[in-house]
Structure formats: structure tokens, C-alpha cells
Structure 1
Amino acid sequence: MRDHLKYLISLVLSLCLGLASAHASIRSEYEVKAAFLYNFTRFVSWPHTENTSEPLEVCVFGDDPFDDLLDPLRGRKSQGRELQLRYPGDVTNLAGCDVLYIAQSQSRNLDELLKLAQQQGMLTISDLPDFVRKGGMVGYVKQGNVIRFEISLKAATEAGLTINSRLLELAVRVVR
């Protein structure tokens, strides 16, 4: 039990500090969210990616709240795949995304985006209120001043994705 607790603490620290090398310390809400986003890619498996030479496409759709905070992800590896960032201008350009961050500016298109993402096996992430309850896979939630996340295992499974149990243990809530 004690080793399990130590492991969880070290995993949380690595999740929070995954991008800290690019910054002296994690200062803002979106720095934490960017670090989480990178680390989510390390604990999710896509069925169509047996070839690790294919890049892992991280797409931000809508008004980008991260500014340049995701730039350190470019070229980093996750599960042997090089991360690439894209900022599609419309829904027709979402094909090929492995990870889809849905910005708050896209709340009115949420149902359409979630349906498309499920069909194409994309991991969906957002900080929209009740994102997981509405069918998203990973939703950022604030608890006081702390950023946490919820996971819909049901939505991920329906899209053909597998989420590692170590990540599920860190979620504040898992929808099955």
C-alpha cells in the first residue's frame, strides 16, 4: 500500500511537471492544463497507431486559450510518436487529429464535434463545464485553486480508445 501511494504521488508530480523544463515553474492555469494534455497522450492508446513513425496530431479547435504554452510539445515524443500541433480553422480540417482540444468558443458545436471525434477515434479534451457529462472524454475541472480532471471511460471506449488504469486512478471522477 505504501509503495502504491508513493507511485501515485510520483505520477501526479510527473503529470503536473511534464512541461516544467520549458518554464521555471508552473505559474498559470493553462500551463497546468498544457502539462496535463501532454501527459494524457502518454496514457491513452489509439487502435489505429501500431506504426510509431506516424506523428501524434494534437489539435486545438476554437479560440486558443493556451497562447504559446503548447509550443514546447512540438517534436516531443509520446509513446514513440512525435507530437505535432495543429489549429484547424473549421470542422472539415479536423481529419487526422488524434487529440482534439475543444475550446470554450466551440460550445455551440459541441454535439457535432463529439460525434465526429468518436467516429474518428480522437481523444477529446476540454474545460467546458460538464464536458464529461455531455459526452467528452477528459474534462478539466477546478477544485478551489487546483486543476483536476474527470474522465469518461465510456466515451473513450466507444471511440475505440484505451485509457491506462494509472490515469484513471488520478481522475477525480470516472464515468463508466
Structure 2
Amino acid sequence: MRRIVSLINLVCIFCFVLPGQGAAPSSEDKLKVAYLYNFAKFIQWPEETFTDEQSPLVIGVLGRSSVEAELAPLAQKTVRNRPIVIRHFSKVEEVQECHLLYISMPPLKSVGKVLQVLGSKAIVTVGDATDFAAQGGVVQFVTLRERLRFLVNLEYALKNHIKIDSQLLSLAVEVVGRAK
């Protein structure tokens, strides 16, 4: 029952919240944070990524982003009985313990190189750079008809033993590399 309520909440966020053309950046940032929180509910990481049952779920931000300011309320929530910890990383080399990583890079930096450094770590990478998913990111934010949506690179997730619930995949506008 709890899972159904979570799914209904997720669908409401994905379908009914419209940032609008003239929406303030903080509205879009709040929506991205809501997405991040709900993504965490429908993703399963390999057991070895957590040291024990009380280990926190770490949500990180790589680079400077206004999204970071909106993440603070998540530190008071839990996902699957794990407390959420928010971390900021200035450089990709700093990213060690992290489960869900929002990557905010200046346009001149290569997202592909950042993703290459992260390699085969079981990190769900999220970004909104053009071709983010095509370069190896797991979730890419896209704006369609003035709505913030997302696409999923399932191939990369599966390669790193990350399982994404089919209910979440069904809400994506596109899923690259479907499971066979």
C-alpha cells in the first residue's frame, strides 16, 4: 500500500507540476529536488554500497548549482529507513561515498569525462546537460512542453548493478538500453 501511495505521489509530481515558461529558477530547482527524492524511492543499489542497514543514503551535488540550496529539507527525510545525507563536491575526484549525484557542470566542461572518472561506481548520476544520458549519465532532465521530465539510460544503471523499478521507468519519456 505504501508503495502505491509513493507511486501516486510520484505521478502527481511528474505530471501535474508545471514550471511554466516564466517560472522562477527556484520553482524548477524544487521540482528537481522532488524528482531526486522520488528517484531514490524507486532505485535499488547493490547491498555492498552500504556498510550496514543504518548507513545513510547520500545525495550529492557536483559543481555549483542552485538546486543545492533546495536540498536541505531532504536531510530530515528517509528512504527505505535510511537517513538522507546531503553532500557537495567541488571536484569529481572527491566523490567517494555517494548514491545519487546531481551533476551541474559549466558548459565548457566535458560531462563525458566526469562520468568516465566515476567509472563503474554504483552511483545514479543525474544531470540536465544536453546528451547527458548519451554520454553515460543514468538520468537526464529534459523540458518538454514546458514540463520538466526525464529520460533514463538503463544500460549504464544495469552495468553498475543498479536496479530501477519498472514503475519509475514507465514514467520516463525515454528509456535507453532496455533490459533484455
Question: TM-score interval w.r.t. the shorter chain?
Answer: 0.7 to 0.9
Classify 1:130/1:38 alpha carbon distance in 2 versus 1 (closer, same or farther; 3 Å): same
Give the partner amino acid of 1:41: A
Partner of 1:99: 100
CA distance in 1, matches of 2:93, 2:66: 21
CA distance in 2, matches of 1:161, 1:100: 14
Name the SS for the 1:30 alignment partner.
Answer: helix
TM-score (norm 2): 0.80
Give the partner amino acid of 1:121: A
The runs of 5 or more residues in structure 2 that have no matched partner are: 1-5, 17-25
Q: Is the 8 A contact 2:150 2:172 kept in 1?
A: yes
Partner of 2:89: 88
Partner of 1:40: 39
Classify 1:85/1:8 alpha carbon distance in 2 versus 1 (closer, same or farther; 3 Å): closer
Q: After superposing the two structures, state which structure 1 stretch, 116-125 or 98-107, moved more.
A: 98-107
Q: Percent identity?
A: 32
Q: CA deviation at 1:172?
A: 0.3
Q: After superposing the two structures, state which structure 1 stretch, 73-82 or 116-125, moved more.
A: 116-125
Q: Is the 8 A contact 1:107 1:128 kept in 2?
A: no
Give the partner amino acid of 2:45: W
Q: CA deviation at 1:133?
A: 1.4
Instruction: State the structure with bigger RCO (CA 8 A, min sep 6), 1 or 2.
Output: 2
The count of residues paired between Structure 1 and Structure 2 equals 162
Q: Is the 8 A contact 1:62 1:106 kept in 2?
A: no
Name the SS for the 1:68 alignment partner.
Answer: helix
Name the SS for the 2:58 alignment partner.
Answer: strand
Partner of 1:127: 128
Matched, 1:57 2:58: yes
Q: Is the 8 A contact 2:57 2:83 kept in 1?
A: yes
Partner of 1:4: none
CA distance in 2, matches of 1:62, 1:100: 10
CA distance in 2, matches of 1:174, 1:78: 24
Q: CA deviation at 1:107?
A: 5.8
Partner of 1:157: 158
Give the CA RMSD over aligned residues: 2.4
Classify 1:157/1:60 alpha carbon distance in 2 versus 1 (closer, same or farther; 3 Å): same
Q: Is the 8 A contact 1:42 1:78 kept in 2?
A: yes
CA distance in 1, matches of 2:60, 2:72: 12
CA distance in 2, matches of 1:163, 1:106: 28
The runs of 5 or more residues in structure 1 that have no matched partner are: 1-6, 18-26
Q: Is the 8 A contact 1:43 1:164 kept in 2?
A: yes
Classify 1:50/1:167 alpha carbon distance in 2 versus 1 (closer, same or farther; 3 Å): farther
Q: Is the 8 A contact 1:125 1:139 kept in 2?
A: yes
CA distance in 1, matches of 2:92, 2:51: 26
CA distance in 1, matches of 2:121, 2:41: 19
Q: Is the 8 A contact 1:98 1:121 kept in 2?
A: yes
